[in-house]
Structure 1
Amino acid sequence: MMNYKKILLAAAATLAFGSSAFAAEKLRIGTEGAYPPFNLIDASGQVVGFDVEIAQALCAKMKAECTVVTSDWDGIIPALNAKKFDFLAASMSITEERKQAVDFTDPYYTNKLQFIAPKSSDFKTDEASLKGKVIGAQRATIAGTWLEDNLGKVVDIKLYDTQENAYLDLSSGRLDGVLADTFVNWEWLKSDAGKDFEFKGDPVFDNDKIAIAVRKGDPLRERLNEALKEIVADGTYKKINDKYFPFSIY
């Protein structure tokens, strides 16, 4: 006599195997969560922003289920290499030093560095005018490095753990100016806190390539690159860009 119980068990096992075989890949996106409008934590506690939406669009193209993990900026590359997350989308500049620790995808936008200062100030960006000024920047960023390399003997540099803390000291008068990413400054200048401040001078650096970081040798890099090409080609990138900026940052 046919053993229906065994048949049912075998069928259940087949279904279970089939469903697991087609289960979506699960990946974790790493970001800072303190760098608006690129990555921030909103009032509901969700991590949102341009970086996050781009990363989620890439996940959709790769048919992966992605969750977001936040990390302090200073330790964000060690966290990636410690496998706290699978790839890093946090407005990170490609630098030779960082390339020793991680691999980068193709750039997903191009950044500029620009000073901001009080509207009421006679803040000029030539070296002679900057002499003795107190200038803030976020620690371990291109802006901080640029200040140290180019004006380290001219200005008093104050480095901060977050960009927001640099803005707080600028607002309170403890800084003469801040050097940061143009688009991050642009966002802050639109806020109530930034209404009495403005850009000063032209960008001091305008070819800062921003990319996603993965662990060295990780084949995920090429998959992310293919997904990036797809979201640019099908208009997904532009839709996200236009949500945050009235100009292209690609």
Structure 2
Amino acid sequence: MKKTLKLLALAAALSIAGAAAAIAETVKVGIAAEPYPPFTSPDANGNWEGWEIEFMKAVCAAAKLDCVVTPVAWDGIIPALNAKKIDMIVGSMSITEERLKTIDFSDKYYNTPTGIIGAKGEDIQPTPEGLAGKTLGVQVSTVHQAYATKHFAPAGVEIKEYQTQDEANQDLAAGRLDAVQADAIALGAFLESDQGKACCDYKGDVAQDVEVLGPGVGVGLRKGETELKDKINAAIKAIREDGTYEAFSKEYFDFDIYGG
């Protein structure tokens, strides 16, 4: 009888352990607290939506992770990751050599051009010469700030920094800026809004600088966490191969956002 009870107890313990193992690992996914359509923005109820939220859900499902969206102010998102307040960043963060000094990245999950927008009717070219003497708005702590500082500031372009992309767009619409630089897709979303249609148009892509702009956008991860990185890379590959990535992307874009 005692032997039977011991076997039953062991079986119960193994069952509990198995159930615990089946529970997905909970991961806090940091996104920028500031809206960045069409990638991330809150709906009327405060729930986050957008292409990057769909990407996050697909990757987490493929990696069998229980992911919790955790908004963090953009300029503090890397410190939050390294302080373990979040476990990874899914926030249109470009993979750059500078960032790789402090964090790690997954494989690329999208890559789009960097562009310039300005007031309609204004002859503005997306070059140092074409912006000389103008005021250019960029979001702080982004590759666009770094690019503008490197390429445009030496040519006499005044660089004005903003905490959010929306603030830069609003100042452009109000005539307080001559131009704004950002991801071409994010700028496209603004230009499709009523305000954007009324004020501004796309002036073109800036010249590529892989050292500053990076080869694309990746999931930000803490250095040394190779197990999570492997899971994320495998999940990105899986959703690309099984058609999931293409399916949800078609809801937002009429081109391949993955890029070359």
> Residue 176 in 1 paired to residue 178 in 2?
yes
8 Å contact from structure 2 (residues 134, 157) kept in 1 = yes
Residue 201 (structure 1) shift: 3.0
Q: How many angstroms apart in 2 are the aligned matches of 1:109 and 1:204?
A: 18
Identity rate, percent: 41
Per-residue Cα deviation, 1:220-240 (whole angstroms, up to 9, x for no partner): 111111111100000111112
Equivalent residue runs for 1:188-203 within 5 Å: 188-196=190-198, 197-203=200-206
Deviates more, 1:198-207 or 1:219-228: 198-207
Q: How many angstroms apart in 1 are the aligned matches of 2:231 and 2:32?
A: 23
Equivalent residue runs for 1:63-78 within 5 Å: 63-78=64-79
Once superposed, what is the RMSD of the aligned Cα atoms?
A: 2.2
- The equivalent residue for 1:107 is 108
8 Å contact from structure 1 (residues 114, 205) kept in 2 = no
1:210 aligns with one of 199, 209, 217? 217
8 Å contact from structure 2 (residues 29, 68) kept in 1 = yes
Q: How many angstroms apart in 2 are the aligned matches of 1:21 and 1:143?
A: 43
- The equivalent residue for 1:229 is 237
Amino acid at match of 1:211: G
**Secondary structure of residue in 1 paired with 2:232:** helix
> Residue 56 in 1 paired to residue 57 in 2?
yes
- The equivalent residue for 1:39 is 40
Q: How many angstroms apart in 2 are the aligned matches of 1:203 and 1:243?
A: 27
- The equivalent residue for 2:19 is 19
Q: How many angstroms apart in 1 are the aligned matches of 2:103 and 2:127?
A: 35
Q: How many angstroms apart in 2 are the aligned matches of 1:105 and 1:113?
A: 21
TM superposition score normalised by structure 2:
0.88
Q: How many angstroms apart in 2 are the aligned matches of 1:124 and 1:233?
A: 39
Amino acid at match of 1:38: F
Higher relative strand content: 1
8 Å contact from structure 1 (residues 125, 200) kept in 2 = yes
**Secondary structure of residue in 2 paired with 1:205:** coil
8 Å contact from structure 1 (residues 112, 206) kept in 2 = no
Note closer, same or farther for the CA distance 1:206–1:247 as it changes in structure 2 (3 Å cut).
Answer: farther
8 Å contact from structure 2 (residues 221, 229) kept in 1 = yes
**Runs of 5+ unmatched residues, structure 1:** none
TM superposition score normalised by structure 1:
0.92
**Secondary structure of residue in 1 paired with 2:161:** strand
Deviates more, 1:63-72 or 1:203-212: 203-212
- The equivalent residue for 1:159 is 161
Per-residue Cα deviation, 1:118-166 (whole angstroms, up to 9, x for no partner): 1122223343342211110101111111111011131111010010000
8 Å contact from structure 1 (residues 111, 206) kept in 2 = no
> Residue 240 in 1 paired to residue 243 in 2?
no
